[in-house]
Amino acid sequence: MIKRLHKSVGVYIDMGNQFLKNILPEWMWKSEHYSGSPLRIGIPRMFFYYIYPNLWETFFSELGMEPVVSGPSTKKTVEKASQISETEHCLPNKLFDAHLAELVGKVDMVFVPRVLSTIKNHLSCPKFGPLPDAARADIARGTEVLSIDIDETRRPLSKTLLLLGKKLNIQKSKTLPAIKSAFSAMESANKKMVMLNKKKGKPRFLLIGHPYIIHDNFIAGPILSKLENMGVAVELISFADDTPATSYILWGTANKIYHKLNTLSREDYEGVIQITVFNCGCDSELSRDNIPREEKEIWGTVTTRLYASE
């Protein structure tokens, strides 16, 4: 179990014990909170939390840390976001800032990876790249920000987790089983996330959108409840399979969505519902107007665009 250091260790460090500095990771000797309780690591409930469901909580807790996930999005999260976040950010980025702010002061460090690519040879949204730097410079200033590059084009996720363990000064023999458990937890979570409303029969719709949009309580929750009340069965698009799809689109999520639209059969669904959010460049490319005419006619896509004020 990773424990916060006892005060005495801090004293040795203050005295300039280079030996400890050399053997301990930076976050340990920098920590101002020395106690015997497990280290609390904050995970904002946005972006990578939904892209890799259950992975981070399982990984950190298997390593002996205490993962603390920010609460589900509510109206208060949106209000907080509108106070602290950049006006031109997309709605999920605004919510991310509010989730991060919720954790600051309550945990020993926050986890904000730099997500560059989640599918080999594909790119993630450029908004993900600066998140750790923005966190350090602004909302999480003064709090330790643990980060790692997630770039599946350069290296598989398992290697990234191994490096993350190394960063935390954990032995490989302990990190490897944690990776195994984390992957298996993510696999089960992915299976559960697909079918929200298991009602058999029709009408049955496919809901498409970025994972952190269609699984966010505040953004998609009311739409899903309304559909359920109307007796409409809804299946959420799955991003579990990370093999590159056949599509010219390089943007990871859009590639998956586009591929799914291209491989649907008329018998599968009555139609497709797309939830898109304010200021998403990727979604504007995928929106109703840009879906090829013949597909639009077949699937009757309904697009719902959400703004922070709604």
Q: Which residues bind ligand SF4 (CB under 6 A)?
A: 90, 92-93, 125, 127, 210, 277, 280-283
If the CB atoms of residues 96 and 269 are measured against ligand SF4, the closer one turns out to be: 96
8 A C-beta contact, residue 125 and residue 251: yes
**Cβ at position 125, least distance to ligand SF4 in Å:** 3
CB of 84 to ligand SF4, least distance (A): 17
How far the first Cα of the chain sits from its last, in Å, is 44
Is 219:278 a contact under the CB 8 Å cutoff?
Answer: no
Reduce the DSSP state of residue 80 to 3 states and report it. Answer: helix
Tokens of 241: 């399979």
User: For residues 93 and 160, which CB has a smaller minimum distance to ligand SF4 in the complex?
Assistant: 93
Q: Which is nearer to ligand SF4, 92 or 165 (CB)?
A: 92
- DSSP 3-state assignment of 110? strand
Tell how strand 204-208 and strand 271-277 pair up: parallel
CB of 93 to ligand SF4, least distance (A): 5
Q: Closer CB to ligand SF4, residue 182 or residue 280?
A: 280
Query: Which one, 105 or 281, has the nearer CB to ligand SF4?
Result: 281
Distances (CA, A) of 135 to 15, 53, 55, 68, 145: 30, 21, 21, 17, 7
Q: % helix / strand / coil in the chain, to the nearest 5?
A: 45, 15, 40
**Cβ 127 to ligand SF4, closest distance in Å?**
4
Min separation Cβ 89 and ligand SF4, Å: 8
